[in-house]
């Protein structure tokens, strides 16, 4: 009788396959992590609206008193020579940095600092001069178009009304607010990414959209400080209350700020003037 040999166990049967780990980056690309990684443009994440104690009127006034003391006459960082070049510079700054815009505007404005000269320069030449800026083709087209509108409807002058400004190609509410504030001294507050972050992070003006933050700021900022509030807040967000890690140790309003994740701020500079909060 033949001797039976034991059957070899299949290696496949013995092995247990482990589920492969999918890198987060690949998950996002495949759509598996879309719900947690994407949100509508112009809106903040839920974490940005964690419940914080509202600022008192005295705290708001004290914060702006300090910001004013540090920079009595704040200036915008976009280079310009008149209301028209300011308008063009702000249009160019959309989805671009002020530093990047300032690299191209001196040459552009040397050739065209009025709507008439800009139209004469032409879209192709404007496009070549600003090609290092994002969306340069669309921006060149808008700059020529708005220059034509200024000549046709406003005698070559930049209008002083929001409605007229927002009717120009490439001009939205934020751009109109900047021009009205800087060129004409209007008490407007243009909310960009920096001010949006500062308003929500500090609890000064929480809101889910730029417009909501703007309206809240206009509600809480004392009238005496509204004129320069835009500049103080944008500079504060750009250099102190930065996106990755706020420099709370250098912040002059850190003791007032309601941000729960703020870092140590116990410096004499930060605590200076806190006695005024009792008012």
One-character DSSP codes across 18-32 = PPPPPPHHHHHHHTT
CATH of the domain at 126: 1.10.340.30
Q: Tell me the percentage of the chain whose pLDDT exceeds 90.
A: 72
User: From the candidates 27, 103, 149, 174, which is the catalytic residue?
Assistant: 174
Distance between CA 179 and CA 190 in Å, rounded?
9
Rounded to the nearest 10 degrees, the angle between the axes of helix 173-184 and helix 83-92 is: 150
Q: Of 192, 255, 262, 269, which residue is the catalytic one?
A: 192
Instruction: Decide if 35 is inside a domain.
Output: no
Same domain as 173, residue 106: yes
Range of the domain at 234: 50-70+189-278
Prediction pTM value = 0.75
11 as an active site residue: the answer is no
Q: Are residues 56 and 108 in the same domain?
A: no
CATH of residue 63's domain is: 1.10.1670.10
- Local confidence band at 261 (pLDDT 50, 70, 90 cut-offs): confident
> Is position 20 annotated as part of the catalytic site?
no
Least trusted range by pLDDT, from 42-56, 132-146, 225-239: 42-56
Name residues whose C-beta falls within 8 Å of residue 270's C-beta, 6 or more positions apart in sequence.
249, 251, 252, 253, 254, 255
Domain membership flag for residue 34 = no
Number of domains in the chain: 2
Question: What DSSP letter does each residue of 244-273 carry, written as one string?
Answer: SS--GGG-TTTTT---TT------HHHHTT
In a domain, 8, yes or no: no
Q: Is residue 108 helix, strand or coil?
A: helix
On whether both 98 and 236 belong to a single domain, the answer is no
Find, among 64, 142, 80, the residue nearest to 114 by Cα.
80
The pLDDT-based confidence of 30 (bands split at 50, 70, 90) is: very low
pLDDT in tens, 205-256: 999 999 999 999 999 999 999 999 999 999 999 999 999 999 999 999 999 9
Phi-psi region at 264: left, alpha or beta (left = phi > 0; alpha = psi -120 to 50):
beta
How do residues 69-100 score in pLDDT, each as one tens digit? 999 999 889 999 999 999 999 999 998 999 99
Distance CA 165, CA 161 (A): 6
With respect to residue 24, please indicate whether it lies within any of the assigned structural domains.
Answer: no
Residues 120 and 136 in one domain: yes
Domain boundary among 184, 206, 226: 184
pLDDT for 40 beyond 50: no
What is the C-alpha to C-alpha distance for residues 239 and 234, in angstroms, rounded to an integer?
9
How far the first Cα of the chain sits from its last, in Å, is 107
Phi, psi at 251, each rounded to 5°:
-85, 130
Q: State CA 279 to chain mean position distance.
A: 33
**Structural domain contains residue 132:** yes
Q: Do residues 99 and 141 share a domain?
A: yes
Q: Please, where are the H alpha helices in 112-249?
A: 115-121, 123-129, 136-154, 162-166, 173-184, 193-202, 210-220, 223-239
Residue 121 located in a structural domain: yes
């Amino acid at each position: 009788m033949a001797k039976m040999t034991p059957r070899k166990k299949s290696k496949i049967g013995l092995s247990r396959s482990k589920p492969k780990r999918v890198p987060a980056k690949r998950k996002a690309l495949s759509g598996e992590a879309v719900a947690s990684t994407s949100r509508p443009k112009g809106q903040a994440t839920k974490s940005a609206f964690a419940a914080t104690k509202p600022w008192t009127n005295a705290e708001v006034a004290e914060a702006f008193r300090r910001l004013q003391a540090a920079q009595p006459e704040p200036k915008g960082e976009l280079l310009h020579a008149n209301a028209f070049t300011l308008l063009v510079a702000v249009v160019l700054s959309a989805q671009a940095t002020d530093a990047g815009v300032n690299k191209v505007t001196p040459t552009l404005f040397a050739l065209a600092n009025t709507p008439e000269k800009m139209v004469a320069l032409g879209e192709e030449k404007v496009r070549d001069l600003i090609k290092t800026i994002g969306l340069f083709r669309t921006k060149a087209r808008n700059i020529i178009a708005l220059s034509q509108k200024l000549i046709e409807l406003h005698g070559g002058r930049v209008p002083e009304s929001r409605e007229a400004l927002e009717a120009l190609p490439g001009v939205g509410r934020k751009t109109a607010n900047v021009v009205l504030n800087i060129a004409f001294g209007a008490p407007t507050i243009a909310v960009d990414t920096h001010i949006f972050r500062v308003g929500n992070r500090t609890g000064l003006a929480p809101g889910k959209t730029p417009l909501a933050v703007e309206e809240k700021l206009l509600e809480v900022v004392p009238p005496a400080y509204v004129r320069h509030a835009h500049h103080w807040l944008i500079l504060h967000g750009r250099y102190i209350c930065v996106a990755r890690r706020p420099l709370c140790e250098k912040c002059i309003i850190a003791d007032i700020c309601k941000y729960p994740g703020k870092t140590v701020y116990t410096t004499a500079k930060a605590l200076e003037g806190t006695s005024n909060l009792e008012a």
